[in-house]
Amino acid sequence: MPRYEIGPDIDLDAEDVRDSAGERITEARAEEIAEQALRKVHAGRPSLSGGRTHSPQVSFRVPKQLHARAAEVAEREGKSVSQLGREALEEYLSSR
């Protein structure tokens, strides 16, 4: 893996700096590249609570056999084990 060293800042509008495709990188293009990189870094799973609100996480341990059964059902239904668990919890709490 190549090692990079951070050098002094340069004026990309004055200096001719090219990307790996040979395209010139200007200050505006550098800003776009930085914004794209930040979107990728901050991109996560969508909130289950809606909007940009954090979704609380519930975590618990289950026996190996129960996890295997849940994984089988989830795969058969085209769901994740987490989705299956959310649905099961919601159904259980709705009956109370």
Query: Is pLDDT of 69 > 70?
Result: yes
CATH number of the CATH domain containing 92:
1.10.1220
Do 64 and 93 share a structural domain?
Answer: yes
The reported pLDDT for the residue numbered 94 is 96
- Percent of the chain topping pLDDT 70: 96
pLDDT in tens, 1-48: 677 788 888 888 899 999 899 999 999 999 998 888 887 776 667 788
Query: Is pLDDT of 88 > 90?
Result: yes
DSSP 18: B
Closest by Cα among 54, 67, 45, 95 to 85: 67
The reported pLDDT for the residue numbered 3 is 79
Domain ranges, residue 15? 10-44
Do 65 and 40 share a structural domain?
Answer: no
DSSP 24: B
The reported pLDDT for the residue numbered 67 is 96
Q: Is residue 51 part of a domain?
A: no
